[in-house]
Structure 1
Amino acid sequence: MEVLGQLAGGVAHEFNNLLAVILNYAAFVAEELAAGPVPDREATGRDVAQIQRAAERATALTHQLLAFGRREIIQPTVLDLNDVVRDLERLLAGTIGEDVALSVDPAPDLWPILADAGQFRQILVNLAVNARDAMAGGGTLSIDTANITVDAGSLADAHPPGGRHVRLRVRDTGTGMTPEVLAHVFEPFYTTKTDGTGLGLSTVYGIVTQAGATVSVRSHPGTGTTFTIIVPVTDQVSTTVPESPARRHTPAGETVLIVEDQEALRAVTERIFTRSGYRVLTAVDGRDAVAVSAAHPEEIHLLVSDVVMPGMLGKEAAARIRRDRPGIKVLFMSGYAQPVLAARGRLDADVDLIEKPFTAAAIIEKAGQVLHG
């Protein structure tokens, strides 16, 4: 209950700060527009930029909270963890600063794992930032990987299952942690930093746990900190497909059916697709979408549907519409789709999803990808 109270208080504090920025800068913009027919465009632009930055920080905070709660939608692939480390090496070197030496020691012939590469990048960045803050006077950040075979229960502090695993270890030579701090290290909004949110390490814990891996930490004051992540090996074979060049789809008269029970979001999504050149139909919920589809005599090329709606979920509405329109493409949109679209938090292979909140550019690009197959 203490941790839940800490979580609720932290969420309220962070979002209240962001909402205060958004509300007040939106009021400034309204005043500037009401002041005359030609407002100060430069000043208005700066105010709008503040609103956008606050909204982006709120989006990032939401994803961190979902990761902590193991509710993020993940898209795992067969990957070599060494590739993730190597791809991030230059970024990490710039993140930790010139006074901290970076040592990377990838094991040869590392066994493959089934994981979301983007989430493991987030783990490494969070651990690197945490290590940098613990080495204000300089030091060394070491990252190494290894193949290990675990006897069941041999690592009492992590409790990984027996069998073949890949070990990712991140070590620093910083100030270390006292036993009191160490006991709370993965708790949300717990931080010893004056400018920290306290979500970095709790996010790491959530990601690792959702991936079926384990994380342990050893630290003592004055001797630095070591994080050890142990990930089960996969027997799946990589089916990597070369990425095609990015291109934006140019609408050619396609019709889109937008299904969203929140009126304001439905209106803004309709506006996004209309101004991008699509013909747009709208529905207020799943049942209404089935009725709109049945009444429309011409082809509907794309269904863009919310996931969780009262009365009928988006997935059920899509299934019913597909009975009469087997060729229709479907794009789901949701900020929390796990309960109805994914197995164990992993996005099903045949599902296309864009996460809320989205930008106009992001949803139009995703719609083009779905239409192109």
Structure 2
Amino acid sequence: MEWSEELSSGLLQAAPDAILVMDEGVIVLVNDRAEEVFGWRRAELLGRRADMLLADFTQVPSLAGLRRAADERETGTRFMGTVPLQARRRDGTGFPAEASLSRVQGPQGRVTVAVVRDMTERHRLQAEAEHQRSEVQEHRSQRLEALGQLAGGIAHDFNNMLGVIVNYANFVIEEAESPQPDLKTIVADARQVIRAGERGTDLTHQLLKFARRDVVRPEVLDLDAVIAEVGETLRGLIGDQITLITRTAESLPPVTCDPAQIEQLLVSLATNARDAMPSGGQLVIDTASAHLEAGENPDLAAGDYVRMRISDSGCGMAPDVVVRAFEPFFTTKASGEGTGLGLATVYGIVTQAGGSVSLTSEPVLGTTVTVLLPAGAGEAPAAPVAEPVLTAGHGETLLVVEDEAALRDVAGRILSGAGYQVLSAEGGAQALELAALHEGAIDLLVSDVVMPGMLGKELAQRLVEVRPDTRVLYMSGYAQPVLASQGTLDPGVALLEKPFTAADLLGAVRRRLDG
């Protein structure tokens, strides 16, 4: 079946690639796409040598070799092959191309048909993919380096604290076992153990805030009121040589944040500012309303925000320090003078609240930290009046579940001594067995969150199914399994954060029992 001239012409024009038909290297036929690709009009291409469309003339011999090889074979259509080319447009610009060549027997003799595909877009996509792969590898390397720095910092600080705890605990034992123990020495050494433990507690909370895994209890806040409340604390912290100036905006919209975290943010930034002004200076805290347009801040959506700036007139930072300022355990202070978690904690607090934080600094000119927090709806509520919490038990039965034996014993001793009946289990399966064998009521389940075999949340669900009157109190240093996406507690969930004191535990138990 022979194709009509109209059909052949239609196929030629419908092709998505440039098609050139050549007789002994001279162009005799082109399609519309060839005009678009090369920038020449059809009339300008016809009758000219196809070599003019090559950016690299060293390719001509190899193309001629393909043609000769095809001529030596039998008559008829013969596919010569596909070759990469550097082609050239009419304006002289080169571009990558791929040409599929065939030798065809036509009415006027044998001709060469070249189907030329512009590879510019494909090469661009390949380059982008390669760049993305390179960026991923670089980011992976940076993450590994950051993890190594983080692990090293944690190990360093905790080794120091553990050294204090172990040695002072030995001092306590030695003094207690001496022929004439000195009670004052024992008490003083025991207090050193407690102080080291409290520093460890602070460090773990800072790490969790940086990782946005800390428990957040957000409230609708008047940021100006929080700054006013913490003002005296900041003045005592920075000393008399530094002047604290606050400039708060009128009618500032409320924000939804954890007030304790905002206070910690201010204390961390004020501490850094104090250390940057050993000879005195000014610390300025100012607030204002801000509106962001789309794309104005790469980390935030368009909308209304509250801006808080903390500026000092201190020694400032060099550019290489500024770019690393929010890294965990990065510090320019001497060994033992700082953990390197102050700004990392600030970053974690702000980002967990849905905001952003940035830092500008120049040597001698000082440092400014700018915090943007989403503006919340409604009015900030009045602060509730704190009421004393009763801690004594009245014979209620508590099921305490903790996989760490020493901590389980500690909790049991505290609760039993306060008048509670205590059932203890090391895990979820044992707790369910104890509950099944216990004939009386179980008033409260006090359970760790993360345990091997069964998480505390699953244990609570299974226990409450058979004992619907049992209330639940979780205790954990890493409460992610019972937290919502923003680090807040799910509705109805009560959590006691580890490590806790006897007063913390008794207060949380009593509040949960009293509802």
- TM-score normalized by the length of structure 1: 0.95
Offset of 1:51 from its aligned partner? 0.7
Match of residue 97 from structure 2: none
Higher relative contact order (CA 8 A, sep 6+): 1
Q: For 1:264, give the aligned amino acid.
A: A
Match of residue 250 from structure 1: 392
Quote the sequence identity (%): 51
The separation in 2 between residues aligned to 1:76 and 1:196, in whole angstroms, is: 28
Match of residue 343 from structure 1: 485
Kindly tell me: are residues 237 and 292 of structure 1, through their superposed partners in 2, closer, same or farther at Cα, counting changes over 3 Å? farther
The separation in 1 between residues aligned to 2:285 and 2:247, in whole angstroms, is: 6
Give the 3-state SS of the residue equivalent to 2:306 in structure 1: strand
Match of residue 308 from structure 1: 450
Match of residue 174 from structure 2: 31
Offset of 1:368 from its aligned partner? 0.8
Residues 307 and 315 of structure 1 are in contact (CA less than 8 Å); yes or no, is this contact kept in structure 2?
A: yes
Give the 3-state SS of the residue equivalent to 1:251 in structure 2: coil
Match of residue 185 from structure 2: 43
The separation in 1 between residues aligned to 2:318 and 2:402, in whole angstroms, is: 50
Match of residue 296 from structure 1: 438
1:285 to 420, 427, 435: 427
Match of residue 304 from structure 2: 164
Offset of 1:254 from its aligned partner? 0.8
Q: For 1:191, give the aligned amino acid.
A: T
2:153 to 10, 15, 31: 10
The separation in 1 between residues aligned to 2:296 and 2:184, in whole angstroms, is: 63
Offset of 1:155 from its aligned partner? 3.8
Give the 3-state SS of the residue equivalent to 2:305 in structure 1: strand
Residues 165 and 230 of structure 1 are in contact (CA less than 8 Å); yes or no, is this contact kept in structure 2?
A: yes
The separation in 2 between residues aligned to 1:252 and 1:200, in whole angstroms, is: 44
Q: Which deviations, in whole Å up to 9, do the C-alpha atoms of 1:161-210 show, x marking residues without a partner? A: 21000101111111111101111111111111121211111111111111
2:475 to 333, 339, 347: 333
The separation in 2 between residues aligned to 1:22 and 1:249, in whole angstroms, is: 29
Q: For 1:12, give the aligned amino acid.
A: A
The separation in 2 between residues aligned to 1:5 and 1:161, in whole angstroms, is: 33
The separation in 2 between residues aligned to 1:241 and 1:288, in whole angstroms, is: 43
Q: For 1:27, give the aligned amino acid.
A: N
Match of residue 271 from structure 1: 413
Q: For 2:169, give the aligned amino acid.
A: A
Match of residue 73 from structure 1: 215
Structure 1 residue 186 corresponds to structure 2 residue 326: yes
Residues 242 and 274 of structure 2 are in contact (CA less than 8 Å); yes or no, is this contact kept in structure 1?
A: yes
Match of residue 277 from structure 2: 135
Match of residue 165 from structure 2: 22
The separation in 2 between residues aligned to 1:237 and 1:296, in whole angstroms, is: 49
The separation in 1 between residues aligned to 2:403 and 2:231, in whole angstroms, is: 44
Offset of 1:341 from its aligned partner? 3.2
Offset of 1:240 from its aligned partner? 5.9
Kindly tell me: are residues 46 and 130 of structure 1, through their superposed partners in 2, closer, same or farther at Cα, counting changes over 3 Å? same
How many residues align structurally?
370
Residues 149 and 164 of structure 1 are in contact (CA less than 8 Å); yes or no, is this contact kept in structure 2?
A: yes
Match of residue 203 from structure 1: 345
The separation in 2 between residues aligned to 1:142 and 1:42, in whole angstroms, is: 45
Q: For 1:202, give the aligned amino acid.
A: A
Match of residue 111 from structure 1: 253
Residues 160 and 230 of structure 1 are in contact (CA less than 8 Å); yes or no, is this contact kept in structure 2?
A: no
Residues 392 and 506 of structure 2 are in contact (CA less than 8 Å); yes or no, is this contact kept in structure 1?
A: no
Match of residue 52 from structure 1: 194
Cα RMSD after superposing both structures = 1.5
Q: For 1:172, give the aligned amino acid.
A: D
The separation in 1 between residues aligned to 2:406 and 2:234, in whole angstroms, is: 40
Offset of 1:333 from its aligned partner? 0.3
Offset of 1:340 from its aligned partner? 3.3
Kindly tell me: are residues 45 and 84 of structure 1, through their superposed partners in 2, closer, same or farther at Cα, counting changes over 3 Å? same
Offset of 1:342 from its aligned partner? 3.1
Structure 1 residue 259 corresponds to structure 2 residue 259: no
Q: Which deviations, in whole Å up to 9, do the C-alpha atoms of 1:310-352 show, x marking residues without a partner? A: 2211111111111222222211000001133333211123111
Kindly tell me: are residues 228 and 241 of structure 1, through their superposed partners in 2, closer, same or farther at Cα, counting changes over 3 Å? closer
The separation in 1 between residues aligned to 2:213 and 2:394, in whole angstroms, is: 37
Q: Which deviations, in whole Å up to 9, do the C-alpha atoms of 1:47-69 show, x marking residues without a partner? A: 11111111111111111111111
Give the 3-state SS of the residue equivalent to 1:212 in structure 2: coil
Give the 3-state SS of the residue equivalent to 2:234 in structure 1: helix
Match of residue 125 from structure 2: none
The separation in 2 between residues aligned to 1:308 and 1:213, in whole angstroms, is: 29
The separation in 2 between residues aligned to 1:346 and 1:154, in whole angstroms, is: 28
The separation in 2 between residues aligned to 1:61 and 1:6, in whole angstroms, is: 15
Give the 3-state SS of the residue equivalent to 2:207 in structure 1: helix
Give the 3-state SS of the residue equivalent to 1:169 in structure 2: strand
Residues 73 and 342 of structure 1 are in contact (CA less than 8 Å); yes or no, is this contact kept in structure 2?
A: no
Give the 3-state SS of the residue equivalent to 1:228 in structure 2: strand
Offset of 1:2 from its aligned partner? 2.2
The separation in 1 between residues aligned to 2:422 and 2:414, in whole angstroms, is: 10
* Greater Cα radius of gyration, structure 1 or 2: 2
- TM-score normalized by the length of structure 2: 0.70
1:102 to 244, 258, 264: 244
Residues 398 and 443 of structure 2 are in contact (CA less than 8 Å); yes or no, is this contact kept in structure 1?
A: yes
Offset of 1:264 from its aligned partner? 1.4
Residues 93 and 102 of structure 1 are in contact (CA less than 8 Å); yes or no, is this contact kept in structure 2?
A: yes
The separation in 1 between residues aligned to 2:452 and 2:146, in whole angstroms, is: 31
Structure 1 residue 63 corresponds to structure 2 residue 205: yes
Offset of 1:133 from its aligned partner? 0.9
Offset of 1:244 from its aligned partner? 4.6
> Structure 2 unaligned runs (5+)?
1-143
Q: For 2:387, give the aligned amino acid.
A: P
Q: For 1:153, give the aligned amino acid.
A: G
The separation in 1 between residues aligned to 2:483 and 2:326, in whole angstroms, is: 28
Give the 3-state SS of the residue equivalent to 1:347 in structure 2: coil
Q: For 2:498, give the aligned amino acid.
A: K
